[in-house]
Amino acid sequence: MEIAERSGVPLRTWKRLEGQGQGSLRHLIMAAIALRCENNLALLFPAPVAASMDELLARQAAGAVRKRPVRAPRRKARPTS
């Protein structure tokens, strides 16, 4: 495969990335650059939730007070014949 060669990722590794989604982060980045979609890699690493441990603990405490989500009612069991 030309794209594997152009990216510098060994062909066997390229096939494993495609078929099984397995490979190193380094090879993933090399493949993304070869495919010209490296800008999308930033989406894999969202911004941190908090700037400090105190801020994180405060957010967790605030989140613990939230109400439980409303669930759909359970279906009634069908009578067996």
Do the domain assignments include residue 19?
A: yes
Is residue 77 included in any domain, yes or no? no
Tokens of residue 47, six digits: 């911004």
9: in domain: yes
Number of structural domains the chain divides into: 1
Q: Is residue 2 part of a domain?
A: yes
Q: Could you give the angle at the alpha carbon of 41 between the alpha carbons of 35 and 43, nearest 5°?
A: 140
* Cα(10)–Cα(31) distance, integer angstroms: 10
Structural domain of 29: 1-41
Mean pLDDT of 15-29: 92
Q: What pLDDT, in 10s, does the model give residues 59-78?
A: 888 876 555 566 666 767 66
Name the nearest CA neighbour of 31 among 57, 69, 1.
1
Whether 81 maps to a domain, the answer reads no
